[in-house]
Structure 1
Amino acid sequence: MDINLGDFHFLRPLWLLLLPFAALLPLLWRRSRDLQRRLRSNIAEHLLQHLLITPRDQQRLRPVHLVCALLMLGAVAAAGPTWEQDRPEFLENRAPLIIAIDLSPSMDASDVQPSRLEAAKHKLHDLIQRRSGARNALIAYAGSAHLVLPPTDDPALLDSFIQALGTDLIGKPGKNVGVVIDQAKRLLAAEKTPGTLLLITDGADTSGLAGLDQQLADSALQVLILAVGSEDGGLIHNANGQPRTDSNGRPVLGSFDQAALKQLASAMDAPLGSLTLNDDDLDWIELHAQQHFQSASDEQRELHWKDAGYWLCWPLLLIAFFSVRKGWSLNWMAGFLLLIGVGLQPAPAQANALVDAFFTPDQQGRWAFEHEHFPQAAAHFVDPYWKGIAAYNAADFDLALASFARLQTPQAYFYLGNIYVRRFKFDEAIAAYTQALKLQPQFPEATANLALAIALQKDTESAEQNAPEVKPDEIKMDKAPGKGQSKALQTEQAASDELWLQNLTTSPARFLKQKFSLQDQMGPKP
């Protein structure tokens, strides 16, 4: 509710209802001290003025006047006076970017050295390094589109998957941009913020352009197209470096249809750029992404105003100090108790009766969690979800497993799947991720981890089947039974998912190929 007076208005105007009450306080106080008014009903008025001796009050300022000033200033401060629009902190960040790279065979053409795909990967490496701290997602597409990595601000993790991309990862031929837009819209809906889709391709399927504008309608998604290749095209090489030939033995040229790319850009009303040897293309991408992000956030920015009410805290504090005067009483008990509470502030790993009296266990757990004292947070939390999150961050997976098992939410099943994968229990992990997707179909992280768990399960089974059977050269046993002692060896839990992934023997390229193949077999499901 706003009361607008030009640019000046109040964010919470109902607090202004205190102003009339505060203005009446001095009048009510003076009326209560009017002895002549109280005696007028018992003594004749012409005699009363001669019988009363009213001493002259030398002090014009009384506590009631300061209370009146405090209430009036406090009401104005609480009402939130404002006259200037605020720019939220999140708008200072660069726009989230969803990168979609074409992995069709034509990207192996060598008209751009060493190949179109390798040149695009090199350019993406520079782009994500420049956008360090911003969130980027990666989609690979050909005849089908696949999420490689959800939005992340880790450039090293993203670059490791970019460098693993190859044209042999997707078996379904084509250049289906429509499924890319669907994937990007789902990612952007989860981000709840406007963003940009960057298409890196060397051509387009003109038969599938109809309806792309409808897919982008009423969406906060902007599309940029970065063309890779030359108009003459180039040779496509095999994995052994030899030029690829057709059935007649003639070399295959990678198609680069500039007219088709222009039709694609026109169908989506998307800017069309080309790969350059310098950083002009990177500047072009960042400029369009940032401009779109700011323009799409204009409506949100109009709802944010700078609350100037906190500036009135200084005169309020001055009035409060001015209230300490000779002859006036001040109750110090509240301040004394406050000082005791500050002095007895517990350490992060401790608690005392005073803290328990003022803060619930969940509040204490949240304080410890925000200060990254995860074991203490897990000990304090009563809420099973937050206890599980804290225990998961503290690498106490037994407690996290017990906490999440009490819940029936998609997030709980997602974390259960993560814990099972860490313990190489892939059947349980797949069941947990599947249940999470049943409860929340649009869950990109659960979708990606489900594909990872299936790929790791197949990889583990394959490794076990192909492991050679090696017999020991010699077996020695203790002569006296009972002399040997068994001792459990404890290994340090991985500090992060990235460190855990580095310990896997499956290469990113092999994992992506298995993941894309499984997704194509499952069909077009979110």
Structure 2
Amino acid sequence: MDLGAFHFLRPLWLLLVLPGILLPYLWKRQRNATGAAGIIAPHLLPYLLVSPAAGRRLHPVHLLSALLILGGLATAGPTWEQDRPEFLDDRAPLILALDLSASMDSDDVPPTRLEAAKRKLHDLVQRRAGARTGLIAYAGSAHLVLPVTDDPHLLDSFIEALSSELIETPGKDVPGVIGLARRLLAVEQGPGTLVLVTDGVDADQLPRIGPALAGAAPQVLILAVGTPASARFDVEGLERLAEAADAPLGSLTLDDDDLDWIELHAQRHFQAGEDDGAQPHWKDAGYWLCWPLLAIAFLCVRRGWSLHWLACLLLATSLAPLSTPVHAGPLADAFFTPDQQGRWAFERGDFQRAREAFRDPYWKGLAAYRAVDYQAAADSFAQAEGAHASFYLGNSYARLYKLTEAISAYQRALELQPVFPEARANLRLVTALRKDLEEQRQAAPEMAPDKIEFEQGADKGKETSMPAQQATSDELWLRNLNTSPAQFLKQKFRLQQAARNDTGEQP
């Protein structure tokens, strides 16, 4: 217990301690013989006063005083330890940028540098399951593979599809990667880290790296892939890159030391940013006083003791904020509402149980969203009101690949709350994704008929074609696309690069 950090979250409730201390004194003074001296003649007092039994020292006023003092202390929220609520994402958001230039096909790291890097990224993604991670591929141009997501299986499928053949432009466009990473991390709720997995640097790009990192830029880490003995491993270039980006330089290892190194730097950067930019959360320890309060309340039920309703009202007022459950057990239904039980489970990370307990549609949807049941989340958020409900409804639709519905939900959130940067950023991302999908579908080559059949009967001899199944919706097209993510990425990168060449836009 850090006594230096000890304080009260709601110190005004400590005012209840004052009447708790004064009550026994006032009561004793009232019963004291000298207290009646101004009302009754002194020579008559011995004959008129009835002295209480000397053996009984505990009186109702003492218990009432204890209830007021403990209730005031509990409600004031004593605390001495910081806490980050468990239902928040407390792991650092990470952007992985993999170099797909031709030099990554070198075999000094078996089987190749690129394959070794992909295996390492697979291990990192699995290790960070549930944490927010994005994926960028780059060579002479930088391209977004996946926005920030907490789905490790989706990340794995696209990491596996990456190859040096996907990007035709030679080079190593690190400034372009930084620009993409800044856009992705702008919508996250904390400072993020960009990890460059590469074997060298394009010397012509070095002067652009400093300006690209100006302002609120992500932390950059460089993971070098290759062996110093190889002629194609640019040790000097990597050191110059680390100096230009003011970034720590690490190397790929056979064990998990490199993963520990990445997570240590990323988490330290995240926690430092959280401490600087947000108010600390403190654990409320007042609920521990509920047990002695309950014991004192039971002692108050004694034969011959009278009850003053004013005192009860004061006590109930002091304990009203302590309505959240402190534990869940067989008697929870008797003391706590379903929403209170759901909140208890939610704050402890038991999202499945929270979803079953909640009756409020917003919290029920939020619990389902955290439990990765996006269809159930969408069904619940659709019944809730407010901008945040519409925002999470859009997120749920986006994860279900219902992009049109997601766009409508984000637009609804912005109508209800015009200043909503997260909703606006997600709206841009989903709109761009839908545009990419439509361009990809339009650019798909025409498919030949599967076969030609000759009908029998009246139209015998007439040739009719049976066309191959076409993707008639985004959902069906995406399902077909998932069988070949490499082809999707290659064509997507080509279209993006062509659009940049036409407009002169920088990534």
- TM-score normalized with structure 1 length: 0.67
1:272 is aligned to 2:269: no
Matches within 5 A, 1:25-36: 25-30=23-28
Match of 1:457? 438
CA distance in 2 between counterparts of 1:278 and 1:465 reads 48
Find 1:180's aligned residue among 171, 174, 177: 177
Name the CA shift for 1:212/1:74 in 2 (closer, same or farther; >3 Å): farther
Alignment counterpart, residue 514 of structure 1, candidates 473, 491, 496: 491
- Structure 2 distance, partners of 1:27, 1:20, is 12
For the 8 Å contact 2:365–2:378, the answer to whether it is kept is no
The residue that corresponds to 2:45 in the other structure is: 49
Question: Aligned to 2:187, what secondary structure does the other structure show?
Answer: helix
Write the deviation string for residues 267-298 of structure 1: whole angstroms up to 9, x where unpaired: 22212123344544334334433444455555
CA deviation after TM superposition for structure 1 residue 51, in Å: 5.2
Q: How does 1:193-342 map to 2 (within 5 A)?
A: 193-210=190-207, 212-213=209-210, 216=213, 219=216, 221-230=218-227, 256-294=233-271, 296=273, 303-328=280-305
Q: d(CA) in 2 for partners of 1:95 and 1:301?
A: 15
The residue aligned with 2:6 is: 8
| Alpha-carbon shift at residue 104 of structure 1 (Å) | 2.7
- Show CA shifts across 1:382-402 (max 9, x none): 9999899899623987x9889
Distance 1:183 1:464, change over 3 A: closer
Post-superposition CA distance 1:199-255 (Å, at most 9, x none): 011222334334645654665833211122356767xxxxxxxxxxxxxxxxxxxx5
Pair 1:467–1:405, CA change in 2 (3 A):
farther
Residue type matched to 2:492 in 1? K
What are structure 2's unaligned runs of at least 5 residues? 317-322, 324-329, 459-474
Once superposed, what is the RMSD of the aligned Cα atoms? 5.3
Moved more, 217-226 or 399-408: 399-408
Instruction: Report the 3-state secondary structure (helix = DSSP H, G, I; strand = E; otherwise coil) of the residue aligned with 1:394.
Output: helix
Q: In 1, distance between residues paired with 2:121 and 2:48?
A: 93
Q: Which amino acid aligns with 2:296?
A: I
1:169–1:434 CA distance, 2 compared to 1 (3 A): farther
AA at the equivalent of 2:22 = L
Aligned residue pairs total 456
The equivalent residue for 1:119 is 116
Residues 414 and 432 in structure 1, CA contact (< 8 A), matched pair in contact too? no
Q: Distance in 2 between matches of 1:386 and 1:129?
A: 24
1:52 offset after TM fit, Å?
1.6
Q: CA contact under 8 A between 1:451 and 1:518: conserved in structure 2? A: no
CA offsets, 1:114-158, max 9 Å, x none? Answer: 433223212222333344454432111234333322333433321
User: Aligned residue for 1:393?
Assistant: 375
Alignment-mate amino acid for residue 45 of structure 2: Q
Q: Which residue of 2 aligns with 1:192?
A: 189
Q: Percent identity?
A: 49
* Structure 1 position 23 matched with structure 2 position 21: yes
Distance of 1:180 and 1:259 partners within structure 2: 21
Retained in 2: the 8 A contact 1:384–1:403?
A: no
CA offset digits 1:75-128 (Å, max 9, x no partner): 122223334555765899654432111123333344444433223212222333
Structure 2 CA distance for partners of 1:230 and 1:217, relative to 1, 3 Å: same
State the Cα distance separating 1:374 from its structure 2 match. Answer: 7.5
Unaligned runs of 5+ in 1: 235-254, 347-353, 478-496
Partners of 2:364 and 2:80 in 1: CA distance: 44
Which position in structure 2 is the counterpart of 1:245?
Answer: none
Q: CA deviation at 1:183?
A: 2.8
Does the 8 Å contact 1:104/1:167 carry over to 2? yes
Q: Which residue of 1 aligns with 2:152?
A: 155
Equivalent-residue separation in structure 2 for 1:384 and 1:86 (angstroms): 24
Listed one character per residue, the Cα deviations across residues 443-494 of structure 1 (whole Å, up to 9, x for unaligned) are 66555544543444355556694342856544789xxxxxxxxxxxxxxxxx
Contact 2:355 2:367 in 1 (8 A): no
Q: Secondary structure at the match of 1:509?
A: helix
Report SS of the residue matched to 2:66. Answer: helix
Between 26-35 and 154-163, the greater mean CA deviation after superposition: 26-35
Shift of 1:503: 5.3
SS of the residue corresponding to residue 468 of structure 1 reads coil
State the secondary structure of the residue aligned to 1:209: helix
Cα offset for 1:160?
1.0
> CA 1:18 to 1:475, structure 2 compared with 1: closer, same or farther past 3 Å?
farther
Alpha-carbon distance in 1 for matches of 2:82, 2:289: 19
Change beyond 3 A, Cα 1:451–1:515: farther
In structure 2, give the amino acid aligned to 1:266. E
User: In structure 2, do the counterparts of structure 1 residues 303 and 129 end up closer, same or farther at CA, with 3 Å as the change threshold?
Assistant: closer
Q: Which residue identity lines up with residue 260 of structure 1 in the other structure? A: G
Match of 1:486 in 2: none
2:142–2:173 contact (8 Å) kept in structure 1: yes
Q: Judge conservation of contact 1:411–1:436 (CA < 8 Å) in 2.
A: no
Query: What do residues 408-440 of structure 1 show as CA deviations (whole Å, max 9, x unaligned)?
Result: 966656666777x65xxx8x5697599699977
Q: Where do 1:46-195 residues align within 5 Å?
A: 46-49=42-45, 52-58=48-54, 59-86=56-83, 89=86, 95-195=92-192
**Offset, 1:19:** 1.7
